[in-house]
Amino acid sequence: MTNPLLSTWDTPFEIAPFDQIKDSDFAPALEEALAAHQAQIDAIATSQEAPTFANVIEALETPCRELEQVLSVFYSVAGADSNPEREALQRAFSPKLAAHFSAITANKALYARVKAVWDQRDTLDLSEEQARVLMLTHRGFVRGGAALEGADDTRMQEIKSRLATLGTEFTQNLLADERSWYMELSEEDLTGLPQFVVDAARAAGKDKGLDGPAVTLSRSLITPFLQFSPRRDLRKTAFEAWAARGANGGDSDNREIAAEILKLREERAQLLGYKNFAAYKLETEMAKTPAAVRDLLMQVWEPAKAQAEADAWVLTKMMQDDGINGELEPWDWRYYAEKRRKAEHDLDEAELKPYFQLDRMIEASFDCATRLFGLEFTPLDVPLYHEDCRAWEVTRNGDHVAVFIGDYFARSSKRSGAWCSAMRSQAKFPDVQTPIVINVCNFAKGDPALLSYDDARTLFHEFGHALHQMLSNVTYESISGTSVARDFVELPSQLYEHWLDVPEVLGKFATHAETGQPMPVEMRDRVLAASTFDMGFQTVEYVASALVDLAFHDGPAPKDPMAKQAEVLAEIGMPSAIIMRHATPHFAHVFSGDGYSSGYYSYMWSEVMDADAFAAFEEAGGAFDPERATALEANILSTGGSRDPAELYTAFRGRLPGVDALLKGRGLAAS
């Protein structure tokens, strides 16, 4: 019987036939796919024809169908619907794949052909996009170690393999800690909690096989529990478990893994001639240097810290008024901030949440895309990897554009957070290929499912990434969609969040789950007025994480990352009642892979642009100005990595932005 992962998918839009795929299919399919890809690479490397753009660069751009199919399916289910068998496969696949791709960049015959094309680039009459692909391909080989020889070359391959293994272990340890911890609650412990939190706790208890409610480390449950539970002792227990993920000792402890990862990254960078890993990593980003990153973060840190300290004074007074003496602790902040929000803005999360139904917010995100870019969304009835997933066909003027898949609900088999990935990326070479894009979130289930305002913002954020994939219009897959500099990739996602705050969008889609009535105008105005509420806290916890990430990589690798983390936080004067958003043992952005290593700052770098970019709409005809929407698609959403990001942004806006729009948008600008 043919392995379904390797067959030609005769399905609607060639979506993976998830109903036919078994876990036992993955390992043999990967072996066969790797062999097919290796044969493809060998043919390019050993060709006797003179090296040309077509027979080297375009040949490398030609996808190996079998390998793309296996990896797209496996990593989709491994992150969103894991099980012990898939986790074991992931541990086995990581070093195998690292070795395979490392061998490609280490292939001296292949690199010689790439370099030969690069050396004659000025005589090839390439298009702008082809020239960009050639530059990126050559740069990728050099940065991957292709020019290394002898022992250095061997050591580079060893480092890459070990890093892949460690990244997988880090991720699985974190998932194990998140999955294993829970705190049983009595009926009395539910006192003071809004009904939606009670319902979520009961559902969590049922999921854990308990007779009663429980709190788990799912963000969609623990965050509202910390906001609303009047039981300080329970908040403390839950918060400390949340903060201790990856640092509980035993087999799932990530601290030694983090130290080894940092040491190996430093060695990797130095083998390539860089002073440290930050210098290596940032060379290809918009920021270019660690100094530029630190300058941006510190411009934001000081006003954010000042605001957070002023807020801490207010929250401490509120706590003392409750008869609790002593210092405001991290497990107190969200509780008293929520009470303050209710008092100052008359906003009650329990009263607000029924207006943010998941289905209505999905409709809102689609409607904005229709008004801005002419996209239409039609539900698809196709087998997917989990019963919670849904799919839509995306069209424009009747033409197929993409398939969009949404996987919105939290479950113990899914890693925490939210993300966007492409099971298939857009390309025109060698054949036209339309994208299949997935948004994965961790919202609490319900009937109907209700979101917090932050949840709704997350939904819009991830859909902004999806639009970047779906509207891509380039020739080569390697520069398609979100294949851009890390500190540019968050621009489309963070920019799209702004449309959630457009009054007419809330007016149309923020309707009450029971009555169907739109959110009252005065409530909507209060929601928007409170949009920068607690922004000192949010900015401090984020910037502290970004500064620690930068410090880990901009200098000698620390032998004890936890000591280095403490040193950095002491240097910047971290407020005692706030902790890093992602402490080292659960900093998956940085340690699960190289994606955001030395790059966690990129959300802030992109925010400088997104605040300025939305201002361009406001300065024109408003949020749905057609000329600005056309310019956004033409210069940013459709272009992928085909041009330098600074050039793309300048083409859209006419200039590069400063930090002022960001500070104003976060309510941190000096009055």
* DSSP-assigned states of every residue in 167-223: HHHHHHHHHHHHHH-EEE--TGGGTT--HHHHHHHHHHHHHTT-SS-EEES-HHHHH
Q: Which residue has the higher pLDDT, 316 or 664?
A: 316
**Strand-pair category, 399-409 with 390-396:** antiparallel
Query: What does CATH list as the number for 354-529+603-665?
Result: 1.10.1370.40
The token pair at 59 is: 């040949």
| 592: pLDDT strictly greater than 80 | yes
Unique residue bearing structure tokens 């060698």: 430
Secondary structure of the chain: what % helix, strand, coil (to 5)? 60, 5, 30
Calculate the CA dihedral of residues 289, 294, 295, 297 and round it to 10 degrees: 130
Contact 135, 226 (CB under 8 A): no
Radius of gyration for the alpha carbons in the chain, expressed in angstroms and rounded: 25
Q: What is the mean pLDDT of the chain?
A: 96
85 is catalytic: no
Nearest to 392 by CA among 417, 356, 367, 426: 367
Instruction: Provide the pLDDT for residue 670.
Output: 63
Query: What is the distance between the alpha carbons of residues 404 and 376, in angstroms, rounded to a whole number?
Result: 11
Nearest to 498 by CA among 311, 329, 316, 372: 372
* pLDDT band, residue 606 (cuts 50/70/90): very high
Contact 389, 19 (CB under 8 A): no
Nearest to 591 by CA among 89, 163, 284, 145: 163
* pLDDT band, residue 661 (cuts 50/70/90): confident
Active-site hit among 462, 477, 490, 541: 462
Query: What is the distance between the alpha carbons of residues 262 and 252, in angstroms, rounded to a whole number?
Result: 18
Query: What is the distance between the alpha carbons of residues 187 and 629, in angstroms, rounded to a whole number?
Result: 52
| 548: pLDDT strictly greater than 70 | yes
Phi, psi of 612 (to 5 degrees): -70, -35
Query: What is the distance between the alpha carbons of residues 260 and 158, in angstroms, rounded to a whole number?
Result: 13
CA–CA distance from 448 to each of 20, 356, 378 (Å)? 31, 10, 21
The token pair at 452 is: 């917090």
Instruction: Provide the pLDDT for residue 412.
Output: 87
Instruction: Provide the pLDDT for residue 287.
Output: 95
Calculate the CA dihedral of residues 589, 590, 596, 601 and round it to 10 degrees: 90
> b/e per residue, 1-29, with b = 16+ CB within 10 A?
eebbbbeeeeeebbbbbbeebeeebbbeb
| Same fold yes or no, 252-347+535-600 and 354-529+603-665 | yes
| 671: pLDDT strictly greater than 70 | no
**What's the mean pLDDT in 433-442?**
98
| 1: pLDDT strictly greater than 80 | no
Contact 581, 545 (CB under 8 A): yes
Unique residue bearing structure tokens 């402890």: 253
Q: What is the DSSP code (8-state) at residue 389?
A: -
Q: Reply yes or no on domain 12-147 having CATH 3.20.20.70.
A: no
Instruction: Provide the pLDDT for residue 328.
Output: 98
% of the chain at pLDDT higher than 90: 94
Instruction: Provide the pLDDT for residue 595.
Output: 87
CA 115 to chain centre: 34
Q: Which fold has domain 252-347+535-600?
A: Neurolysin; domain 3 (1.10.1370)
Tell me the one-letter amino acid at 454.
D
| 553: pLDDT strictly greater than 70 | yes
* pLDDT band, residue 609 (cuts 50/70/90): very high
The token pair at 120 is: 């004659």
Query: What is the distance between the alpha carbons of residues 431 and 511, in angstroms, rounded to a whole number?
Result: 44
% of the chain at pLDDT higher than 70: 100
* pLDDT band, residue 658 (cuts 50/70/90): confident
Query: What is the distance between the alpha carbons of residues 170 and 90, in angstroms, rounded to a whole number?
Result: 12
Instruction: Provide the pLDDT for residue 217.
Output: 94
Instruction: Provide the pLDDT for residue 616.
Output: 95
Beta bridge pairs of residue 438: 405, 421
In the Cβ-directed half-sphere of 388, how many Cα atoms lie within 13 Å?
Answer: 22
Q: List the domain boundaries for the chain.
A: 12-147, 181-245, 252-347+535-600, 354-529+603-665
**What's the mean pLDDT in 604-613?**
94
Query: What is the distance between the alpha carbons of residues 110 and 37, in angstroms, rounded to a whole number?
Result: 14
Listed in order, strand segments (DSSP E) in 610-657 are none
Tell me the one-letter amino acid at 324.
I
Query: What is the distance between the alpha carbons of residues 454 and 474, in angstroms, rounded to a whole number?
Result: 33
| 255: pLDDT strictly greater than 80 | yes
**What's the mean pLDDT in 72-99?**
95
| 211: pLDDT strictly greater than 90 | yes
CA–CA distance from 465 to each of 16, 440, 472, 553 (Å)? 21, 11, 11, 27
User: Taking the model in full, what pTM does it have?
Assistant: 0.93
> What would the pLDDT profile of 182-203 be if each residue is shown by its tens digit?
999 999 999 999 999 999 999 9
Instruction: Provide the pLDDT for residue 399.
Output: 98
Question: How far from each other are the two terminal CA atoms of the chain, in whole angstroms?
Answer: 70
